[in-house]
């Protein structure tokens, strides 16, 4: 059963019209109370006086802490990566195809485990992350293993000012959308780094799934769908990989992006969308989902919503 969370219980009104897509046009701030994957609850949309740069700075400080925890924890299992294990999903390997001899730019790569997996498959990979700790961990791991992967510390939104070159593939995956403040600008930067004929491959939690309450055993709406200029602030306890971990950062800031915004931004940046695939499963254990396999979790019978997606878009030769 799909329930809308009562306004009194959630401290919010989520009845946004499609006009919310026109972010910034006469909007009023709507206070939200939303769940954090690590167990916290959100405190609301940032007021106008809080800048995007301040939100990104807070996120960077959090990811510095998270990267150190993830490099030591079982979720990413760096020791297994050293032994040759990778966590690339079969569907993305099939959809991207043979990468041997190709150059790949991996955006928001975190501690580099997926970058290393693609390098082991023959790609020359450049990973990018805004966390200096994540880049240090990724660089050290790649050197230990001896693969063709290097890493750059940069905010992706500023990457065209700090990195040169063009790539056959730009890759981004699993949990990156919400950290992007301006998806249209992100798409422009992707196109900037693609060779003519090269392609973007993006796979992540579906924007529709992001409206669901990820801390409830019931399937219910608890978050907005339409994109907006302000991020939502979440209280943080631990990390999604280890909710019991101790972190000093108390907040994170995430932006909403709709399906239409994603596809339209990519197209307007000069890329031809070859497919947008939607999947009925998620790759993480939300309480309202049932486990289908080791890394697949599905909605109850009778509830049909897209939970994950993959997008491939090729840069036009002009």
Mean pLDDT of the 279-298 span: 90
Supply the pLDDT for residue 43.
Answer: 43
Give which of 283, 257, 247, 285 is closest to 63, Cα–Cα: 247
pLDDT in tens, 150-208: 999 999 999 999 999 999 999 999 999 999 999 999 999 999 999 999 999 999 999 99
How far is residue 302's CA from residue 38's CA, in Å, rounded to a whole number? 28
pLDDT in tens, 128-165: 999 999 999 999 999 999 999 999 999 999 999 999 99
What's the pTM value of the predicted model, to 2 decimals? 0.85
As given in the structure block, the two tokens for residue 187 are: 């798409």
Give which of 184, 71, 63, 210 is closest to 128, Cα–Cα: 63
Lowest mean pLDDT among 4-13, 207-216, 251-260: 4-13
Q: How far apart are the first and last CA of the chain?
A: 49
Q: How confident is the model at residue 30 (pLDDT cuts 50, 70, 90)?
A: very low
Burial 243-280 (b: 16+ CB within 10 A, else e): eebebeeebbbbbbbbbebbbbbbeebbbeeeebeebb
| Strands 194-205, 167-173: pairing kind | parallel
48 CB-near residues (< 8 Å, 6+ apart)? 29, 230
Mean pLDDT of the 51-65 span: 93
Supply the pLDDT for residue 31.
Answer: 31
Environment class of 289 (CB within 10 Å of its CB; exposed 0-12, middle 13-18, buried 19+): buried
Q: How confident is the model at residue 2 (pLDDT cuts 50, 70, 90)?
A: low
Instruction: Indicate the SS3 state at residue 209.
Output: helix
Q: Is residue 4 over pLDDT 90?
A: no
CA quadruple 214, 220, 222, 223: dihedral positive or negative?
A: positive
């Amino acid at each position: 059963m799909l329930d809308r969370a009562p306004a009194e219980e959630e401290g919010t009104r989520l009845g946004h019209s499609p006009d919310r897509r026109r972010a910034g046009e006469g909007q009023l701030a709507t206070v939200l109370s939303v769940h954090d994957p690590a167990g916290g609850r959100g405190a609301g949309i940032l007021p106008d006086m809080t800048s995007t740069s301040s939100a990104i700075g807070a996120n960077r400080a959090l990811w510095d802490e998270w990267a150190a925890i993830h490099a030591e924890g079982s979720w990413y299992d760096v020791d297994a990566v050293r032994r040759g294990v990778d966590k690339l999903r079969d569907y993305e390997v099939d959809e991207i195809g043979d990468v041997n001899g190709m150059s790949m730019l991996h955006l928001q790569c975190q501690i580099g485990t997926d970058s290393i997996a693609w390098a082991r498959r023959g790609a020359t990979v450049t990973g990018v992350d805004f966390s200096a700790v994540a880049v240090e961990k990724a660089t050290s791991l790649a050197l230990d293993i001896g693969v063709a992967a290097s890493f750059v510390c940069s905010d992706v939104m500023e990457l065209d000012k700090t990195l040169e070159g063009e790539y056959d593939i730009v890759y981004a995956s699993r949990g990156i959308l919400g950290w992007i403040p301006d998806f249209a600008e992100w798409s422009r930067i992707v196109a900037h780094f693609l060779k003519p004929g090269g392609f973007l491959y993006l796979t992540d939690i579906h924007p529709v799934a992001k409206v669901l309450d990820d801390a409830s055993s019931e399937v219910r709406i608890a978050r907005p769908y339409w994109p907006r200029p302000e991020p939502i602030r979440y209280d943080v306890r631990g990390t999604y990989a280890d909710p019991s971990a101790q972190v000093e950062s108390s907040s994170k800031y995430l932006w909403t992006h709709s399906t239409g915004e994603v596809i339209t931004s990519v197209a307007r940046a000069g890329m031809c969308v070859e497919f947008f695939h939607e999947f009925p499963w998620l790759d993480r254990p939300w309480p309202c989902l049932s486990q289908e396999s080791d890394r697949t979790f599905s909605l109850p019978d009778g509830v049909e919503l897209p939970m994950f997606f993959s997008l491939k878009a090729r840069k036009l030769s002009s």
